[in-house]
Amino acid sequence: MRQLSALLIPLLFVGCTSINSSPKSEREKVEMTLNKVRTDIEDIKHDLNTYEIEHHILEGKLSDQEQSLSSLQRDTIESYSSKLDAVLGELSALHTDIDSVKKKQKQLLGDISELSSHSNDTTNALTQYKGKIEALEKLIEAQEGKFAQIAGLKNTLNEIAEFHKANQYKQYVVRTGDSLEKIAKKFHTSVEEIKRINNRTNDLIIVGEEIQVPVTNE
């Protein structure tokens, strides 16, 4: 607009001055002015074309930048979306692990409580068994005292039996021609009694052998 105004001002000036000038000189001036105006118009057109080209270039660059920005935004969004999905997946797995740990912890606490209850029962049972064992030990001690008394009594009885046996039986040396039947008649007893006294099951005797026979008033 400023350039068009600059072109119109010389034309007006020429039109105003043409009244006082000669036709030839004025015509030359007008032609010169018109030529200058044409040149300026061409320059303006060239500048406009240049501006249009630069405008198209800028629009292309702007479109490319918008596409690059859109692609960058899309890639960024996809990248962050993928990372967000991965993080969400990890969080979900973590929640699952935490739930599993909580269940195991709850089960473990239940097992500990049950073991504690069993431990108390076992302690009570052991206390009862300990009391019973102590009672049995005391009973065993008493029985051992009785057994000692019985053993002493048995020894006494054995001594009495040995004394009685020593006074009831005597040793007899088997001679040639002896038999259990002859020996039984000699000591006024029976073959079965002699066998019982000597723990025998048969009638075999050997010359020179010592056997026990009942004591008799010979």
Q: What pLDDT does 98 receive?
A: 77
Say if pTM beats, i.e. exceeds, 0.75.
no
**pLDDT tens across 69-92, in order?**
788 878 877 777 788 788 788 878
Q: How many CB atoms lie within 10 A of CB 187?
A: 18
14 pLDDT exceeds 50? Answer: no
Q: Among residues of the chain, what percentage have pLDDT more than 90? A: 21
Tens-place pLDDT, residues 103-139: 888 887 888 788 778 778 888 887 887 888 888 888 8
Which structure tokens are listed for 191?
A: 């073959």
Q: What pLDDT is stored for residue 140 in this prediction?
A: 78
pLDDT reported for residue 13 = 47
Per-residue tokens: 53: 């080209």
**pLDDT average, residue stretch 97-102:** 82
Say whether pLDDT at 18 is over 50.
no
**Homologous superfamily of 174-218:** LysM domain (3.10.350.10)
What's the angle, vertex CA 129, arms to CA 127 and CA 131, rounded to 5? Answer: 70
> pLDDT tens-digit profile of 160-191?
666 555 568 899 999 999 999 999 999 999 99
Q: Which residues contact 198 (CB under 8 A, 6 or more apart)?
A: 211, 212
Which residues are within 8 A (CB) of 73 and not within 5 positions of it... i.e. 6 or more apart?
Answer: none
Average pLDDT of the segment spanning 144-158: 77
